[in-house]
């Protein structure tokens, strides 16, 4: 292998694959990246055996070939090289790095020992979506996910296509987020719909490596998930299992409906939470006749405080306790001046959403005494 690349192009590709580089001491080659030049195309790959990222590097290929090199030292060298143009050459499991003023030789490993990155061979069915829309769907819900060994089916993000819409859903059993994208925001040719659960970490990596303006094609063979753009491929194993039937917990009969300033409520939570106990509890006291919400928290060793917020309230007054961090996570994904909060008393699930817009709903369970 003999290639010439620009430093920034190489650095950007290394950044993209960096967090998938494995740390498995029983398989040292996972600490390496695979650099491959084939048919004039240059790619860098990393894998942790569960997920793999392949990133295209813009450059000139003089001679095809491949080599796997330790990511840490290779990345450090590339980041600190001053020259813009870099020549890379593989010789006997070593990679030679040359610029006008610098030379280095890094010992690599046999590229044949690098794990085979799985491919989805059948590509007839897929859905295609703009990068910014895909990222919006995942980011809107992933804070509600939690890795669980006991319940792996809630350890990721559900992507559910019913032909006309895509739903992104995540839950940790205490809160749930659902984001819906409509047909105008994607194209889809799956005949029987599409329902998969992507593990949380690969979902986070997908958000990180995909550019907003890129078109992303999504494929699945039932056990693997692949997202592909012109210069990036992410492949990961899917979570095997059935996502909970969450529609059962979406509130249908609201007893108290509130419209309140999003920024003021977030500010109140940050301030009042200073006095919250170890379980992050704050109490919402809904006072309809005064059109106020009192956000209150107390700790026996610290003291107590409260914050009054004006609000539009219809329905009954109630005192309900929440984990303030859970409420705050839901508010962060709403891009409007006001939010709607629907309560069903002090023990049943509550819903937070945009006013007059059901494309995003966030369900949070009250803290029960």
Q: What sign results for the dihedral spanned by CA atoms 191, 193, 199, 201?
A: positive
Burial class (CB in 10 A: 0-12, 13-18, 19+), 115: middle
Which two three-digit tokens encode residue 286? 């809904």
Contacts 24+ apart (CB under 8 A), 54-57: 54/17, 54/117, 54/232, 54/233, 54/234, 54/235, 55/13, 55/16, 55/17, 55/209, 55/231, 55/232, 56/13, 56/230, 56/231, 56/232, 57/5, 57/9, 57/10, 57/13
Enter the CATH code of domain 127-246.
3.10.150.10
Residue 293 in contact with residue 309, Cβ under 8 Å? yes
Q: Which CATH architecture has domain 2-113?
A: Roll (3.10)
Instruction: Kindly report the backbone phi and psi dihedral angles of residue 71, in degrees, each rounded to the nearest multiple of 5, phi listed first.
Output: -60, -45
Both ends of the chain: CA-CA distance in Å? 66
**Rg (Cα) of the chain, in Å, rounded?**
25
| CATH topology match: 2-113 vs 250-364 | yes
| Tens-binned pLDDT, residue by residue, of the chain (369 aa) | 999 999 999 999 999 999 999 877 788 999 999 999 998 899 999 999 999 999 999 999 999 999 999 999 999 999 999 999 999 999 989 999 999 999 999 999 999 999 999 888 888 888 899 999 999 999 999 999 999 988 999 999 999 988 688 999 999 999 999 999 987 778 888 777 789 999 999 999 999 999 999 999 999 988 999 999 999 999 999 999 999 999 989 998 999 999 999 999 999 999 999 999 878 999 999 999 999 999 999 998 899 999 999 999 999 999 999 999 999 999 999 999 999 999 999 999 999 999 988 899 999 999 987
Residue 196 in contact with residue 165, Cβ under 8 Å? no
Does domain 250-364 match CATH 3.40.1010.10?
A: no
What are the domain boundaries of the chain?
A: 2-113, 127-246, 250-364
């Amino acid at each position: 292998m003999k290639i010439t690349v620009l430093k920034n192009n190489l650095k950007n590709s290394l950044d993209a694959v960096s967090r998938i580089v494995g740390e498995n001491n029983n398989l040292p080659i996972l600490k390496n990246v695979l650099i491959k030049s084939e048919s004039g195309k240059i790619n860098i790959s990393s894998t942790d055996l569960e997920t793999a990222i392949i990133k295209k590097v813009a450059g000139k290929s003089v001679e095809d070939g491949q080599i796997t090199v330790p990511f840490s030292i290779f990345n450090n060298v590339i980041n600190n090289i001053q020259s813009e143009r870099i020549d890379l050459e593989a010789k006997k499991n070593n990679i030679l790095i040359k610029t006008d003023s610098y030379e280095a030789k890094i010992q690599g490993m046999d590229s044949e020992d690098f794990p085979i990155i799985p491919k989805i061979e059948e590509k007839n069915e897929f859905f295609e979506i703009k990068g910014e829309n895909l990222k919006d769907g995942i980011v809107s819900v992933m804070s509600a996910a939690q890795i669980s060994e006991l319940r792996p089916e809630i350890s990721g993000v559900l992507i559910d296509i019913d032909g006309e819409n895509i739903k992104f859903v995540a839950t940790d059993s205490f809160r749930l987020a659902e984001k819906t994208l409509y047909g105008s925001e994607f194209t889809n040719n799956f005949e029987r719909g599409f329902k998969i659960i992507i593990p949380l970490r690969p979902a986070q990596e997908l958000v990180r490596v995909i550019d907003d303006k890129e078109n992303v094609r999504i494929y699945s063979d039932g056990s693997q998930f692949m997202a592909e753009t012109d210069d990036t491929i992410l492949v990961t194993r899917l979570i095997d299992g059935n996502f909970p039937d969450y529609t059962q917990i979406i509130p249908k009969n609201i007893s108290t409906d509130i419209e309140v300033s999003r920024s003021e409520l977030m500010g109140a939570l940050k301030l009042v939470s200073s006095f919250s106990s170890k379980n992050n509890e704050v109490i919402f006291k809904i006072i309809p006749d005064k059109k106020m919400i009192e956000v209150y928290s107390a700790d026996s060793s610290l003291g107590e405080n409260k914050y009054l917020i004006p609000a539009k309230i219809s329905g009954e007054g109630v005192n309900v306790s929440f984990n303030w961090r859970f409420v705050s996570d839901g508010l962060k994904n709403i891009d409007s001046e006001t939010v709607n909060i629907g309560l069903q008393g002090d023990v049943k699930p509550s819903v937070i959403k945009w006013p007059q817009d059901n494309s995003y709903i966030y369900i949070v369970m009250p803290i029960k005494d």
